[in-house]
Structures are given as C-alpha cells and as structure tokens.
Amino acid sequence: MGDECLFCKIVNRELDSEFLMETDELVVFRDINPMAPVHLLFVPKKHIRSVNDITKEDDYILSALIFAAKEMAVRTGVAESGYRLFFNVEKGGGQEIFHLHMHMIGGWE
Ligand code: AMP
Ligand code: ZN
C-alpha cells in the first residue's frame, strides 16, 4: 500500500515537505492550500484510508493525533484563541486524499 499514495510518499520523505512535528506515530505539516491562517495536517505514518477503516488496534494513533494537535495549537499560538479539528470522510465528506488525516484550522482575528 502506498505506492501511489501522496501522503505515504510524504511520510516516507519521498517528497519534499517540512515536518513541524514527527513522532513514531505521525507527522504534521502545513496544508499546501490553507483555508485559514493556520492550517495543519496531522497524518498517521500507517496507511489507513479513512475514518471508516479505523480499527480498535488503531486506538493509539487516534490518541496521538489529538495530543499532537494540543501541542501544535500551543506552538502555533492558537490554543487560546481556538481552532477546529476535523476529518473529511470519503468523497461525500470532501475527502480528496485517501490516507487518513486530521485538519487543524485556526488563527483568525
Ligand atoms: P482532504 O480533502 O481532507 O482529503 O484534504 C486533503 C488536503 O491536503 C487538502 O486540504 C489539500 O490542500 C492538502 N494537500 C494536498 N497535497 C498536499 C501537499 N503536497 N502538501 C500539503 N498539503 C497537501
Ligand atoms: Zn498512504
């Protein structure tokens, strides 16, 4: 899995991308087409297609995503002002890249 997956390539450093955070479970980088002053993507290293495909064994990944968001909110200065975390799920939910990722947007005045 992942030969044609853009986010697998980014995770595996086959594409140039600046990671704001990297742990055993995930990487964080800026969205290339930001919809807010701060728009980050939290991407598990494990290829999972979407929320529909999460299993009980992926518990630790979901937990890691949320704790990474908490830390990045502080680091990007939006913790106090607030932010939104969301997953787009499958085509009808607006998902365009079929490798699980969580969006963080914030930083408005
Ligand atoms: P989604 O619609 O939830 O699948 O979100 C995919 C997101 O990935 C979009 O917000 C895109 O702007 C973003 N994106 C696509 N290609 C890249 C890339 N090479 N680097 C960073 N973000 C990307
Ligand atoms: Zn992938």
pLDDT in tens, 58-87: 999 999 999 999 999 999 999 999 999 999
Model confidence at 109: pLDDT above 90: no
**What is the pLDDT, as a whole number, of residue 34?**
98
Active site amino acids: 101
Q: Is the CB of 96 under 6 A from ligand 1?
A: yes
79 part of a folded domain: no
Average pLDDT on 28-34 reads 98
Query: Which ligand has its closest atom nearest to the C-alpha of 105?
Result: 1
- Binned at pLDDT 50, 70 and 90, residue 50 comes out as very high
21 part of a folded domain: yes
Write b or e for each residue in 15-46: b if 16 or more Cβ atoms lie within 10 A of its Cβ, otherwise e: eebeebeeeebbbbbeeeeeebebbbbbbbbb
The total of structural domains in the chain comes to 1
Q: How far is the CA of 79 from the centre of ligand 2 (A)?
A: 29
Model confidence at 3: pLDDT above 90: no
**Phi, psi for 83 (deg, rounded to 5):** -165, 170
Q: Is the CB of 36 under 6 A from ligand 1?
A: no
Tell me the sheet residues that pair with 85. 104
69 part of a folded domain: no
- Binned at pLDDT 50, 70 and 90, residue 2 comes out as low
Average pLDDT in the chain: 96
What residues make up the domain containing 101?
A: 6-60+84-106
12 part of a folded domain: yes
38 part of a folded domain: yes
Distance from the Cα of residue 24 to its chain's centroid = 14
State the Cα–Cα distance between residues 52 and 36, nearest whole angstrom.
26
66 part of a folded domain: no
CATH code, domain with 92: 3.30.428.10
Q: Who's near 30: CB < 8 A, 6+ residues apart? A: 18, 20, 39, 40, 41
16 part of a folded domain: yes
* Per-chain residues with Cβ under 5 A from ion ligand 2: 2, 5, 7-8, 47, 99
